[in-house]
Amino acid sequence: MGGAYTLSQCVELRAEQVRSIKDPDVISVHRPGHLSHLSPPPPLLPPSPSSKMARLVAVLLLLGLLHPVLSIQCYRADEFHKKIVDGNLVCLAQFDPQDGTSSFSGLQKIPKRFKDHEGCILTTRKSRNEETFAVWECVCSNDLCNQPISWSQFKRNGYTLA
C-alpha cells in the first residue's frame, strides 16, 4: 500500500498537526509543542513606582517643552514701565475712565468674567476703602494684541482695542 493511509492514520496525523495563519496568504503547519508564538502573552505586571515616576517626569518635561509653544507674548505697561512678557495665556488691558489711566499685562489664566468671550467689558471694582469705581477690562489671545493705547484712543475706538 506504499503511500496510502488508512482513515485512522489520517485522523492521527491530522491530530498531530496544528494549522495557524500568520499571514492571510500563508498557512504554515506546526508540530505539537512548537507553538510558542501562538501562546498568549505573559500577564502584564503592575507598573512599579519607579516606572510611574518616570512616566510622570516624561509628561512634565513634555509639558515644559510645549508651554512656550502654547503661550503668547503680551505688553506689560503702566505709567512708568513698558516691556514684553512671555508665557501668557491671554493679554489684558485695563482702562480707568475716572482718571484716564491705562495698564497692560498678561495672564496665565482667563478671568471667569471672560469665560464666554474675548473683548472688552465694563466692570465695577471696590477700592480699599470700599468705594466702587468703573474699569474697562479687555482680554485678547494673540501675540502682542494688547498694544498700549491711551484712554482717549480706547474711547475713540468704540471701547475696543482695535
The answer on 77 and 35 residing in a single domain is: no
* Distance from chain centroid for Cα 3: 69
pTM score, whole prediction: 0.57
Domain annotation covers residue 100: yes
Q: With beta carbons less than 8 A apart as the criterion, state whether 138 and 158 touch.
A: no
Query: Rounded to an integer, what distance in angstroms lies between the CA atom of residue 89 and that of residue 115?
Result: 13
Domain annotation covers residue 63: no
Question: Which residues are CB-neighbours of 31 under 8 A, at least 6 positions away?
Answer: 16, 17, 18
Tens of pLDDT, residue by residue over 35-61, are 555 566 667 777 777 877 878 777 777
Domain annotation covers residue 132: yes
Tens of pLDDT, residue by residue over 106-144, are 999 988 888 777 899 999 999 899 999 999 999 999 999
* Domains identified in the chain, total number: 2
Region for residue 61 given its phi and psi (left: phi exceeds 0; alpha: psi -120 to 50; beta: otherwise):
alpha
pLDDT band for 23, please (50, 70, 90 cuts). Answer: very low
Grid cell of 116 as nine digits: 464666554
Domain annotation covers residue 61: no
Q: Which domain holds residue 118?
A: 72-156
The answer on 152 and 89 residing in a single domain is: yes
pLDDT of residue 17: 54
The answer on 83 and 23 residing in a single domain is: no
